[in-house]
């Protein structure tokens, strides 16, 4: 399951967004997860195809893919210097796959801004600087060790020292590790010491309800987009307060409420979709009388590894996969129809999965 951490300065709307998330998650029926931790909220990944498939297969249950959100409140100026609390927040960030960085773009005189006024560029910089300082420390520590390895004649140490120097230079300029490019050998090295600023970031520009309609002309949002474009990050415009209200409604009320606001879908759904896209993830399905289920894999995943997300035995004993595209499945009225038309393929170990593939794996135990 994809794990995303929510960060941002105090009073920007993190808890409001997080509450909307946990509320929405609590209402997703048929959910095989239970509440784990007050700081973790699980939401389904919205996917209309699940309903279509369920309408054809009539399964016992529908299981959507999920995203876990972790509330990482307390990341403030000076966190990287903090011995106790600050470091704890940073270590929570180490454990997530992606960062959702909430940025205050709403004006409200009743809600104090910890840094004075609304200034998304400055706010983003404050948080990013903490992450960069934490990474700088990791890189310096690592550098000392690698220098010793180099003396001992380790060949790879030279490559690594170069990489560390390059990273240090970027950090000194206030740049995140994700703004650099890496060759395969460097990528391999980076796998062994996960940097905070290497994680993909999605900026959530938190707007006031009244500004939402003209979001793309809003100077605060434009600033967030500008920063994001410069570092290859994504942006989602949301109104955390509206999300919190939406999360309280049942399906029928929700549809009415969204229509009144002129919105297609909850911002939360857009947030999840964008996170999926940003992380290069996609979905395949299994569909049978027991359940119709969505599974999350990375773009370019091959069939055996996809099978492995279901069960490690499936990967180990992989023989082949029976695959039909979602479109063919629907067009032919189901698996048998698709088989009659010769549209169900038998694929081997080298098959690269496509988004929407409906799969039945054959394996040895
Ligand atoms: P956190 O410290 O980042 O977790 O921020 P909170 O979620 O606690 O929000 C701080 C305050 O801002 C609360 O009083 C919220 O009601 C308010 N707030 C959050 N989002 C919005 C918004 O979109 N518009 C307005 N006007 N207020 C908001």
Q: Tell me the CATH number at 350.
A: 3.10.20.30
Would you say the CB of residue 19 lies under 6 angstroms from ligand 1? no
The phi and psi torsions of 167 (rounded to 5 degrees) equal: -65, -45
Ligand 1 atom at minimal distance to the Cα of residue 102: 3
| Residue showing tokens 């009743």 | 110
250 lies in a domain?
Answer: yes
Q: Report the predicted TM-score, pTM, of the whole model to 2 decimal places.
A: 0.86
| Alpha-carbon gap, residue 2 to 281, rounded angstroms | 9
308 lies in a domain?
Answer: yes
Question: Average pLDDT, stretch 50-69?
Answer: 94
pLDDT at 32: 43
> Domain boundary residue among 174, 197, 220?
197
Residues 231 and 97 in one domain: yes
> Domain boundary residue among 145, 173, 197?
197
Question: DSSP character for 46?
Answer: P
Statement: residue 216 has pLDDT above 90: no
Question: Average pLDDT, stretch 49-70?
Answer: 93
| Residue showing tokens 């048998």 | 336
pLDDT at 140: 93
pLDDT at 356: 97
> Domain boundary residue among 197, 213, 242?
197
Would you say the CB of residue 218 lies under 6 angstroms from ligand 1? no
110 lies in a domain?
Answer: yes
Q: What percent of the chain has pLDDT over 70?
A: 93
- Could you read off the pLDDT of 154-210 as tens digits, one per residue? 888 899 999 999 999 999 999 999 999 999 999 999 988 889 999 999 999 999 988
Ligand 1 centroid to 206 CA: how many Å? 9
Q: How far is CA 271 from CA 230, 297, 323, in A?
A: 20, 18, 30
Which region among 10-14, 85-89, 225-229 has the lowest average model confidence (pLDDT)?
85-89
| Alpha-carbon gap, residue 328 to 338, rounded angstroms | 7
pLDDT at 301: 95
CB crowding 292-321: b at 16 or more within 10 Å, else e: bbbbbbeeebbbbbbbbebeeebbeebebb
Number of domains the chain is built from? 3
Q: Which two tokens stand for residue 43?
A: 């939401």
289 lies in a domain?
Answer: no
Residues 182 and 205 in one domain: no
- Could you read off the pLDDT of 240-291 as tens digits, one per residue? 999 999 888 888 998 899 888 888 888 888 898 888 888 889 999 999 999 9
Residues 175 and 244 in one domain: no
Residues 22 and 45 in one domain: yes
The H helix count followed by the E strand count for the chain is 14, 12
Statement: residue 339 has pLDDT above 70: yes
Q: For residue 198, which of 189, 207, 206 has the smallest C-alpha distance?
A: 189
Statement: residue 322 has pLDDT above 50: yes
Which region among 21-30, 291-300, 349-358 has the lowest average model confidence (pLDDT)?
21-30
Q: How far is CA 250 from CA 172, 271, 303, in A?
A: 50, 20, 38
Q: Is 309 annotated as a binding residue?
A: no
pLDDT at 27: 54
* C-beta separation of 244 from 237 below 8 A: no
Residue nearest to atom 14 of ligand 1 (CA): 111
Q: Which two tokens stand for residue 351?
A: 């098959």
Q: Apex CA 212: angle with CA 49 and CA 264, to 5°?
A: 20
Q: Which residues pair with 324 in a beta bridge?
A: 358
> Strands across the sheet with 2-7, in order?
40-44, 66-71, 2-7, 98-104, 201-206, 234-238
Residue 333 exposed, middle or buried by CB count within 10 Å (0-12, 13-18, 19+): exposed
Residues 185 and 250 in one domain: no
In this structure, how many other beta carbons lie within 10 angstroms of the beta carbon of residue 136?
18
Residues 80 and 166 in one domain: no
Ligand 1 atom at minimal distance to the Cα of residue 244: 20
| Alpha-carbon gap, residue 292 to 40, rounded angstroms | 25
Residues 96 and 205 in one domain: yes
CA-based torsion, 300, 305, 309, 310: positive or negative: positive
287 lies in a domain?
Answer: no
Residues 263 and 251 in one domain: yes
| Alpha-carbon gap, residue 247 to 268, rounded angstroms | 9
Question: Average pLDDT, stretch 63-71?
Answer: 90
In this structure, how many other beta carbons lie within 10 angstroms of the beta carbon of residue 271?
25
Residues 96 and 146 in one domain: no
What is the extent of the structural domain holding 56?
2-119+200-278
Whichever domain contains 26, its CATH number is: 3.40.50.300
Statement: residue 86 has pLDDT above 80: no
Alpha-helical runs (H) found in the chain: 14-27, 48-57, 85-94, 120-151, 156-172, 184-191, 219-230, 240-247, 251-261, 267-278, 303-310, 312-316, 326-331, 335-340
Ligand 1 centroid to 304 CA: how many Å? 45
Statement: residue 33 has pLDDT above 50: no
Q: Which two tokens stand for residue 246?
A: 């939406």
pLDDT at 80: 67
Model confidence band, residue 34 (pLDDT cutoffs 50, 70, 90): very low
* C-beta separation of 13 from 104 below 8 A: yes
Would you say the CB of residue 72 lies under 6 angstroms from ligand 1? no
Statement: residue 337 has pLDDT above 90: yes
295 lies in a domain?
Answer: no
125 lies in a domain?
Answer: no
pLDDT at 108: 86
Question: Average pLDDT, stretch 337-359?
Answer: 97
The SS3 assignment for 97 reads coil
294 lies in a domain?
Answer: no
Higher pLDDT, 55 or 91: 55
Q: In the predicted model, what is the mean pLDDT of the chain?
A: 89
pLDDT at 35: 47
pLDDT at 51: 95
Whichever domain contains 190, its CATH number is: 1.10.150.300
pLDDT at 113: 83
Residues 139 and 32 in one domain: no
Q: Which two tokens stand for residue 195?
A: 């940097």
Residues 77 and 168 in one domain: no
pLDDT at 83: 53
Model confidence band, residue 26 (pLDDT cutoffs 50, 70, 90): low
Would you say the CB of residue 337 lies under 6 angstroms from ligand 1? no
Residues 169 and 235 in one domain: no
Alpha-carbon Rg for the chain in angstroms = 23
């Amino acid at each position: 399951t994809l794990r995303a951490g929510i960060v941002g300065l105090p009073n920007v709307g993190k808890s409001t967004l997080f509450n909307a998330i946990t509320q929405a998650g609590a209402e997703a029926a048929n959910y095989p997860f239970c509440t784990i931790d007050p700081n973790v909220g699980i939401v389904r990944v919205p996917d209309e195809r699940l309903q279509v498939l369920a309408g054809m297969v009539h399964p016992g249950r529908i299981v959507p893919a999920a995203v876990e959100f972790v509330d990482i409140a307390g990341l403030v100026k000076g966190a990287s210097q903090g011995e106790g609390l600050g470091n704890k927040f940073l270590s929570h960030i180490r454990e997530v796959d992606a960062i959702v960085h909430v940025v205050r773009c709403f004006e409200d005189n009743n809600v104090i801004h910890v840094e004075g006024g609304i200034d998304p560029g400055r706010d983003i910089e404050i948080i990013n600087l903490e992450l960069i300082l934490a990474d700088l420390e990791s890189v310096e520590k690592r550098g000392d060790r690698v220098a010793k390895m180099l003396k001992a004649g380790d060949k790879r140490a030279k490559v690594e020292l170069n990489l560390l120097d390059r990273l240090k230079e970027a950090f000194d300029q206030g740049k995140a590790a994700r703004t650099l490019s890496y060759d395969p050998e460097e990528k391999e090295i980076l796998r062994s010491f996960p940097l905070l600023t290497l994680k993909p970031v999605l900026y959530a520009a938190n707007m006031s309800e009244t500004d939402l309609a003209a979001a793309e002309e809003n100077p605060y949002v434009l600033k967030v987009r500008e920063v994001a474009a410069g570092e290859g990050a994504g942006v989602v415009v949301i109104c955390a307060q509206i999300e919190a209200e939406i999360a309280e409604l049942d399906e029928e009320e929700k549809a009415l409420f969204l229509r009144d606001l002129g919105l297609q879908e909850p911002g939360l759904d857009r947030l999840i979709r964008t996170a999926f896209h940003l992380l290069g993830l996609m979905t395949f399905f299994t569909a049978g009388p027991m359940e119709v289920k969505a599974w999350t894999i990375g773009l370019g995943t091959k069939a055996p590894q996809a099978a492995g997300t279901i069960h490690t035995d499936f990967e180990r004993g992989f023989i082949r996969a029976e695959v039909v595209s979602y479109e063919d499945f629907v067009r032919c009225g189901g698996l048998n129809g698709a088989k009659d038309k010769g549209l169900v393929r038998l694929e081997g170990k080298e098959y690269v999965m496509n988004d929407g593939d409906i799969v039945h794996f054959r394996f040895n135990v």
